[in-house]
Structure 1
Amino acid sequence: MTPRVEELRRAAVGGTVVVVNSARNRADAILIGHEGDLKQVPLPDLTADHVEAQSEAVVGSAHAGLADRLGWLWDTVVGPVAEALPPGPGPRRVWWLPIGLLGMFPLHAAGHPGRPGALDSFVSSYTPTLRILAHAHGHPAAVARRQLTVALPSTPGLPGLPGALTEALDLHRRHPDQPPLLNEDATTSQVAAALSTATWAHFACHALADHAAPSHSGLCLSDGMLTIPEISRLAVADAQLAYLSACSTGHRSLEHVDESLNLASAFQLAGFRHVIASLWPLADAFGAVAARTFYAELSGTADDAPAALHRTTLAMRDRYQGRPDLWSSLIHSGP
């Protein structure tokens, strides 16, 4: 069903939705403004063959050569979009809605090393559909903060994550009213029960992305996995922010690229307005540094999450120069 003009306007409140599509015969970006107006931006240098080749490289090379792909993204997609949007006093607010294989790429981090790029042009978020974004805009912000923190520095059968404990303790110092669920206390039943009443949630643990069957993906807890279907059915009241400091929580499966089914979208379906997730495996030590920086940048309300993550990514880019596989990994979904 084609979205109505009212839905387009609700989805683009406060910025611009950028739909990016590449087909065999042509490629375009469609810019949707808050007035419901549409602007088509031709992308003549973006070909379906190049998208396919680049997406296979992203999956198969453990992100080696990512700097080159970020430059390609700027030249073919993000640069033309930046030129088409009216200038502003600062970075412009955009929501990326990439179609198909384009959902594999970090559009928010496009750019050539040492030159202004997407981070300098935009405060970026992602959305799987216009309707989900419009619904998130209409979801009222809650005042109460009921914090759930789950961290598993030790998980049966999996490598240790010492940074997960650092994340949990840092967050607990900021919000000492609710002790974190750690290691053996972080069972699937206990976490699901705590999550059903939390308005803010932070997970520092392993995650499994099952590319063959995305619905089998989930968060790895002490007694098993909390799966995508179990999370998406929770319907958490007044849910505000979920920070998923775990591997590939925002990743799209190459085998099911037209399905926006991943852990980030599961938390959105559960009712969380804002979700922070990772496009690919997240280095343990980096995850702890990024999480600490994010919460230090946050003004106190969940609605500052996109701007806080933007500031965090800029700080990580400065700190980890030459490592775009680190600083470009985290993305925001939501209004």
Structure 2
Amino acid sequence: FLQTTIPPQSRIWWCPTADLSVLPLHAAGPYRKGQRNLSNLFISSYTPTLTALIRARRHAPLNSNSQGKRLVTIGQAKNAGETELLSVGAELDIIGQRVDAFATFTCIDGEQSCISRVVEELGKNEWVHLACHGLPNRTHPFESAFALQDGRFTIQRIIGCDLKNPEFAYLSACHATVGDKESPDEVIHLASAMQFVGFRSVIGTMWAVDDGETNKITSTFYKYMVDE
């Protein structure tokens, strides 16, 4: 049906509900030799609600070539009780190299990555890249959090932030789009919290992410972001 009504390589928006909200709809396909999967035909994006999509599209589109963009990268590799993320430092270095020509770049890492500093930087920068552990709480979703140096930066705290001009957030953290197990229609997770406070475009993960692969994904993404 989509192939007959929508031009190839168009962007399509998914607004899944109930059990569909935990499925990778963008990866649907026959996976047979000679046949194309959905990802070969269209560019998929997700929205937690139609209201969020309408609000985001009222603004001018992101222009990565514009001078004067402000980007903050936030890294936290070590947390008590969590596996150390060995690639965080290299990931932040890659971003700095990619965006240096067109963005004002701030990097906070390790002991600097405390909650109060992160809130401060979110208020100053249009773009943010978070590289840390994502800690979903499917029973109490407002307690889902990013693991920072001095504790958990929870959804409850995130949605209380007053940001000036948020545009783009890249969440390099596991389970950034995992919501409430009992109420999947409510779509409460880390990525939707960033959208709620105003970020028009958010990249997040549905499952665990291999620490070693994040550098490859990050490098490729920002290469095309800058080139475009």
Q: Which TM-score applies when normalising by structure 2? A: 0.89
- Please report how far the alpha carbon of residue 287 of structure 1 lies from its aligned counterpart in structure 2 after TM superposition: 1.7
Q: Which has the higher contact order (CA 8 A, sep 6+)?
A: 2
| 1:247 aligned onto 2:171 | no
Q: Distance in 2 between matches of 1:294 and 1:202?
A: 12
How far the C-alpha of 1:128 sits from its partner, in A, is 1.4
Q: 1:24 aligns to what?
A: none
Deviation above 6 Å: which 4+ runs of structure 1?
none
Q: Of 212, 237, 243, which aligns to 2:139?
A: 212
Please tell me whether residue 107 in structure 1 is matched to residue 25 in structure 2: yes
Distance in 2 between the 1:184 and 1:250 partners? Answer: 26
Aligned partner (choices 263, 287, 292) of residue 219 of structure 2: 292
- Aligned mates of 1:82, 1:178 — CA distance in 2: 41
Q: Is there any run of 5+ residues in structure 2 with no aligned partner, and where?
A: none
Aligned to 1:91: 9
Equivalent-residue separation in structure 2 for 1:255 and 1:202 (angstroms): 30
Structure 2 partner of 1:159: 83
Secondary structure of 1:190's match?
Answer: helix
Residue number in structure 2 paired with 1:225: 152
Match of 1:30 in 2: none
- Give the conservation status (yes or no) of the 8 Å contact 2:138–2:178: no
The residue number in structure 1 matching 2:200 is: 273
1:136 aligns with 2:56: yes
**Matched residue, 1:315:** none
The letter for the 2-side match of 1:126 is: Y
Shift of 1:256: 2.2
* Distance in structure 2 (CA, Å) of the matches to 1:130 and 1:253: 19
CA contact (8 A) 1:100 1:257 kept: yes
Q: Distance in 1 between matches of 2:113 and 2:58?
A: 32
Deviates more, 1:152-161 or 1:200-209: 152-161
Q: State the partner residue of 2:111.
A: 184
Shift, 1:275, TM fit: 0.0
Q: Does 1:82 align with 2:2?
A: yes
Q: Report what 2:47 is aligned to.
A: 127
Percent sequence identity is 32
Cα distance in 2 for partners of 1:299, 1:249 equals 24
Cα offset for 1:87? 4.7
Q: CA RMSD in A?
A: 1.8
TM-score (norm 1): 0.62
Contact 1:210–1:216, Cα closer than 8 Å, also in 2: yes
Alignment partner of 2:185: what SS?
A: coil
Return the offset for 1:263.
0.6
The counterpart of 2:95, out of the listed 163, 171, 175, is 171
Native 8 Å contact 1:219 1:227 kept in 2: yes
Maintained 8 Å contact 2:172/2:205: yes
